[in-house]
Structure formats: structure tokens, C-alpha cells
Amino acid sequence: CFKMETKLKIESGKFHCCLFFPLESCDYPPRLVSAELMDEYKEKDFFPVGSTVKYKCRPGYMKKAGTYSSTCNRNQQWSKVQELCKRKTCGHPGEPDGGRLLVTGDFDLGSTAHYQCDGGYRLIGKSTRKCKVLNNKMEWTDEVPYCEIIPCSPPPKIPHGKYDGEYLHSFYYGTVVKYTCDKDYPLIGNASIYCTSKDGINGEWSGHAYCGETQCPSPQIKNGKIVAGISSTYKYNQKVSFECIGGHEMVGSREIHCQVDGTWDPPIPVCEQKTEDHPSHGFPLLSESDVSKEIPTKDCFKTYLLVSELGKFNCRVQNFVTIDLMVH
């Protein structure tokens, strides 16, 4: 008979080969993360009491102290076996200039290296690498990335102006340039701009500047007129003075200046009509220029009495006193 078979004699005197299975056996041996059964045990599906199996380290793992075998005991349980192997290491993955390395793990199998660049730099290459078994060796995937300082295109050239550093060919993150304008051309915008980045990849300039003949709109004032600085056009820093026509008084500044942004500062004033100086419930009798200052030029409406008290006039009805009026 073959192995694991036994002969049985029957009454006719003939023998037959029959499979023989011991009653006591163990289940399939324990599966380990770091180790696996040696090849000669992988295809077996029956493990009788007393049988022993051996393990070997999986790829990416190496041996450490301990027992590399397990035995099927009488209680039909395998003898205790712990993780037999430890992970191999890929070594330090490398760190780029202008950046930093963040690793999840200890540079061993399965670890991931994350790369980030400092402000003003952009990452060239893969941002992550993994420790793996490659060609039967422990290696990091891909190459170490590098951090490149973010460049900007040359600053824009502007008519009637220039920037310092026009002789330079390269401009990088943090570079500052300053604009100046020709005479009679005021600078509009930011005199100094710098190379920056919004997305951490592409460079751009922080602002814009240009040199131009700023013009302000012709100032219009109702019930008033321009007395100085009148012109067909009003350019940067030009000033204008106003006065109000008779019977009106000015609210605001008499002199305004044309600003670089095309506005007037202070704002154009307003000419408001003067209010008559007479008491409530009263009215003027004569023009004050036609009478002596000692003669009252005010009177009260019907049912009100003009009263002089301490040099002031007011219109009184019974015990009600209206707004006071100074004597002129």
C-alpha cells in the first residue's frame, strides 16, 4: 500500500489497501505576518499529533531570536509561536535642501516618507516614497525630490518709468523691485513690488505700477465760482480755490488739490444759502443796513410779543419763550 494506507484482510482471503487517518490531528498551522511556512509544508492539509512544521521569514523581513518551528501537541493545538522575524530597513530616505522630511514609521518595510518644501520653494518630483522590497532588496520607491525656489517672470516694463534691477535676468521668490517715473509723470500704484506666490508653485508680482498724466474732473460748485487755478484740464497736484456768491456761505475747504488717483482732496465744497437772523415766530422789519443798530429790526407774529432781555430779542407768548436772537 501507499504511505498513509493500510492493508485490510477480508473473508475471501484477499487484501485491500485503505486510507488510514489517525483520529488526533491539528488544524492548519498558524499564519504569521512576518514569516511563512517552508515550502514542504505549504501543500499539506493534514497534520497529525506530534508533527512539526518550520517557518522562514517573508520577503522584507529578517530573522530575530526565537523558535522557528511549531509542533502539534496532544491537545490538538500547535505549540505557541510568536512573530519570528523583524522588518528590514530601507535606511534614511534623504532630505532635500529647502525642504523637510516627514516619515510614518522607522525607515523600515511599509514606511512612507512625505516631503514638503519651505515657503518660497516648490517641490520637483514625487511628494511621497515608500519602503518596499524591490528586486529582492529593500529600497525606497522613486527618487528623492528636490525643492526649487519659485521664480517670477521679469517685472512689467511701464511707459515713462523704469525699475531698479533691469539688468537682472532672473527673479525669484522674495525679490523686490522699485519703480521710478520720469518728471511730470506721477507714479500710480505701488512703488515697490515683490515676487510672491499664491499657490506655492507659480510666481507672480505683488502689485502693479504705472506712470501717467493723472487728470481730475472739472470741479463744479453750485452757487459758487472758481477764483484761482481755473483751467481746461486739471492734472496731478494742481490746486483750485473757490468762493460763494452773495447770500451763500461755504461748507468745506476753499482750496482743493488733484490727487494721483484722479480725485479731489479735500472734496469739492458746497455753498449753502445763509439763514435769516430772526426769532422763531418772528420776521425782519427792515434791512439792518438801513437802520440804526439801536432800533429793533425784528417783530413777532400776531399773538407774540417782542421782548428784549439782556441784549437779546425773543418772541414770547404767555410763558413760552422761543429761540433767542442777539441784538445787532
Q: 105-142: per-residue pLDDT in tens?
A: 788 888 999 999 999 999 999 999 999 988 888 999 99
Of 79, 71, 81, nearest to 31 by C-alpha is 81
Question: What is the pLDDT at residue 59?
Answer: 87
Per the listing, cell 485503505 goes with 18
Question: What is the pLDDT at residue 16?
Answer: 56
- Cβ-contact 85, 62 below 8 angstroms: yes
Dump pLDDT digits (tens) for 11-63. 555 655 555 555 689 999 999 988 999 999 998 989 999 999 999 998 888 88
Q: Which three cell numbers stand for residue 131?
A: 519602503
Q: Which three cell numbers stand for residue 42?
A: 505549504
Question: What is the pLDDT at residue 290?
Answer: 41
Question: What is the pLDDT at residue 318?
Answer: 47
- Report in angstroms the alpha-carbon separations of 7 from 12, 14, 17, 24, 190: 14, 10, 5, 21, 105
Question: What is the pLDDT at residue 327?
Answer: 44
How do beta strands 161-163 and 146-149 pair?
A: unpaired
Low-confidence ranges of the chain (pLDDT < 50): 2-5, 7-9, 285-296, 311, 318-328
The C-alpha atoms of residue 23 and residue 234 are separated, in whole angstroms, by 113
- State the pTM of this model: 0.49
The C-alpha atoms of residue 22 and residue 80 are separated, in whole angstroms, by 23
Question: What is the pLDDT at residue 305?
Answer: 62
Sheet order of strands, 52-57 included:
35-37, 52-57, 69-71
Question: What is the pLDDT at residue 185?
Answer: 84
The C-alpha atoms of residue 165 and residue 168 are separated, in whole angstroms, by 5
For the chain, what percent of residues have pLDDT higher than 70?
77
